[in-house]
Amino acid sequence: MEDLQVTLARTLSLAAIALAVGAASSCADPRAAKYRLEGSLGQLMDLGYDEARLQLGPDDLSILFVRIHPLDTLGPNDGGSTNMMVGNSEDYPFKVSVALLGQGPFGGSRVDLTMTDGNGNPVSTFSRDVLNDPNKAFPKASRATLFLNKVPVVDQTVTGDFNVTFAEGVEVASGRTVFSKGFSAKVIE
């Protein structure tokens, strides 16, 4: 009888531990990215992001995939009079920039991002800006398209998708892919 009680106690203890581990692992990390770009580039670097923004300039537009990092709070021992939030920092795990070549912003049709201007320069560039990551610029694309559901207007939201295959070479992203099957971006100036 005593062996049965010991076995039962061990079984219940193991079940409680398994339940606690399962509950802890199912809790979402509050600092985890909300969304993730897909493709083989994700095997080399983190492509998680929290929001997308479409930055509309006079000669170009850029889609920034933004990773927001809340900064710690300052308390009385840190030089603050009360606990107060310092703010956020931002990383840009991926950015698509497209020169408009004297035309207005596009929307409602798929755009070939491998086009070149009159001098043979690519109209699109791809980059990132992440703290302590030396990778800033990516090689030119061998295949790439972008779709926006409508012409972007400041303070509105557009949806879209994109895909990029980088040209073969020796740079870190060479031959890799990155894409989004769907994103929603707030349009800013």
- What is residue 155's DSSP assignment? T
Average pLDDT of the segment spanning 107-136: 94
H-helix or E-strand containing 21?
helix 2-26
What is the number of residues in the chain? 189
Three-state DSSP state, 129: strand
**Which of 1-15, 100-114, 154-168 shows the lowest per-residue confidence on average (mean pLDDT)?**
1-15
d(CA 162, CA 183): 9
Reported as half-sphere exposure (CB side, CA atoms, 13 A), residue 100 has a value of 16
Which residues lie below 8 Å from residue 181, measured CB to CB, with a gap of 6+?
38, 161
Percent of the chain with pLDDT over 90: 69
Percent of the chain with pLDDT over 70: 76
pLDDT confidence band for 35 (50 / 70 / 90):
very high
d(CA 52, CA 186): 7
- Strand pairing of 88-99 and 60-70? antiparallel
Residue recorded with tokens 């009385």: 76
Record the pTM: 0.77
Average pLDDT of the segment spanning 11-32: 47
pLDDT, tens only, 48-81: 999 999 999 999 999 999 999 887 655 555 555 5
d(CA 120, CA 90): 33
pLDDT reported for residue 1: 55
Average pLDDT of the segment spanning 98-126: 92
pLDDT, tens only, 73-90: 555 555 555 555 568 899
Inter-residue contact 183 to 160 (CB < 8 Å): yes
Inter-residue contact 128 to 160 (CB < 8 Å): no
